[in-house]
Structure 1
């Protein structure tokens, strides 16, 4: 389906939960209250929404959270999602703390790639930034994941306090067959109070080590721009939502765990589907289709992250869907 601006919308990010087993400072501080269980969409409801989305041409899905793997039954849901007729691709974003035990089920389900959040390779800094996370647990999961036929991407938010980690993280793409992606800090929720680094600065630092870094073939469903080098086993990617606006090619909607379809991360506006799916009416599949279509047509031309006064979304990232 095309939006008002002629963009093809074929990608839906699904937040299974606002809960997480970490408390990353730029995402979910410990004092953010969790949504009640009754307010979270049931798996059967999410699948029904996905069926409506698929009927409109949305066939790529990202499962995220909060931390999706903390929700009971997440692996079974992912398997059902990948089996849904018309679904072309399902990927997962996780902090990696529960990933290692989940890998066999994810491979069996047919997940094509896994994004793992990793902002630093210093164990003490990792623990401080995440509210107690264990770096060794994440790295062990990464090593195990690399033995499987699933594409692995490491996501690092570009924070001023982790600037020294840009090169060490990039070195992982030298040693391992994976992508290391640097993401500009989003001025959403807690990210408004933190200082980030632009992707251009990160690229400049890395070109001092790998002068032959050049753009290579884009892969995945998102907006990352990838670079390769003869000295790298994997690729290095950059997602510069603030400094390199890619709104002209945006292909996504977001479904929050509470049943709101969000056309754009910058704005609080959304289309509620929870009342439709819990209304008991026999025509709810058609009404869901109409709701998805409204969300697509409500997509703005572009975000306004450069102007804080025009950002109307005030929820934290875990509440929206990371």
Structure 2
């Protein structure tokens, strides 16, 4: 047992921000790299981080485990694409010890599924029970264009492998007015027909990309109204730890979530923070706040020093984000989603 291996019911006082919100959910980016180049997420020609700036797997474990000791109940591994990081299954397996101890409720993953067929069984063995898969279209040509070269067949095979391994799969799709808006009902029905929950996400103004996001912004409030013209949507109190508000679709029997950072702010009950692969802690997705935990641990910090740095960062968590969509406006934050992590 390390100084960061929490014992249920014992250990330091739980993390609380300056507005009284308990922070119990940490999203951990293990890499800024990805094998796709989704048009709303990355620039076509990305410059990725040098290896020396990226946390080692041991450093990622140390920081994540410190959060668990402080009451974090859910860890989500993200990227970039997490499964392109060499050795990431070893990290996930190591973090699984917190599931065995009862200190952690859930260890999950967000992936584009291109390598999921290879790793699904190992993820299940490590204690992962549920994953999110990013998928915006079922049209191979459109998928190839949106991802700048991706193969839809690999993603579908990955989803099938995950389900065969016993993993529950939720499909995440970014709603794009000019590309997949008309297809979203079909995508929802496809996901529900495979036993997958589905979540729709409004495009977020993060990082410079070639396109003007104003052109692609689709309000999910308006989309929900359209869906209700032919489906029966019933609000349900489901919470998976994230910002989605869920409904049940009577006609498909499946659950549908809406993540609406622009049309409906979801900050009032925010319980999550994000650790980038460089060790920067962001307590808000839509603010430029940042605390350098890499500098803390590489300066020889003790367990107590790291805990104090985490507490100080979380205490400054903003009340909410400042996302907005406006033509020709700069992104709300300069960093790309692939750098922030999921």
User: Is the TM-score greater than 0.5?
Assistant: yes
Cα distance change, pair 260–189 in 1 and its aligned pair in 2 (3 A): same
**CA distances 1:106-159 after superposition (whole Å, capped 9, x unpaired):** 111111211000011111000000011111111122123223432211000011
How big is the alpha-carbon RMSD for the aligned residues of Structure 1 and Structure 2? 1.7
**1:269 matched to which residue of 2?**
289
* Farther-moved stretch of structure 1 (17-26 vs 224-233): 224-233
Which residue in the other structure is 2:155 paired with? 138
Cα 1:177/1:217, change in 2 over 3 Å: farther
Aligned equivalent of 1:163: 181
Match of 1:256 in 2: 276
Does structure 1 residue 183 correspond to structure 2 residue 201? yes
Assess, with a 3 A threshold, how the Cα gap between structure 1 residues 209 and 148 changes in structure 2: closer, same or farther. Answer: farther
Structure 1 pair 205/190, CA: closer, same or farther in 2 (3 Å)?
Answer: farther
| The one of 93, 99, 106 aligned to 1:89 | 106
- Contact 2:205–2:325 (CA<8 Å) still a contact in 1? no
Which residue in 1 is equivalent to 2:246? 226
C-alpha distance 94-159 of structure 1, shift in aligned 2 (>3 A)? same
* Superposition TM-score, scaled by structure 1 size: 0.94
Structure 1 residue matching 2:268: 3-state secondary structure:
helix
User: Cα distance, 1:52 vs. partner?
Assistant: 1.5
Equivalent position to 2:309, from 265, 268, 291: 291
Tell me how far 1:31 sits from its aligned partner: 1.4
Q: For residue 54 of structure 1, what is the aligned residue in structure 2?
A: 68
Matched, 1:151 2:165: no
* Equivalent residue pairs, number: 319
CA distance in 1, matches of 2:230, 2:89: 40
1:163 deviates by 1.0
Give a deviation string over 1:30-77, Cα, whole Å, max 9, x none: 312000011100111111111221222112111000000001111111
Assess if the C-alpha contact under 8 Å between 1:94 and 1:116 holds in 2. yes
TM-score computed with the length of structure 2 as normaliser: 0.89
Question: Structure 1 segments of 4 or more deviating over 3 A?
Answer: 307-312
Equivalent residue number for residue 209 of structure 1: 230
1:311 deviates by 6.4
Q: Which has more helix, going by share of residues? A: 1
Contact 2:29 2:80 in 1 (8 A): yes
Partners of 1:158 and 1:182 within 8 A in 2: yes
Q: SS state of the match for residue 126, structure 1? A: helix
8 Å Cα contact 2:207-2:331 kept in structure 1:
no
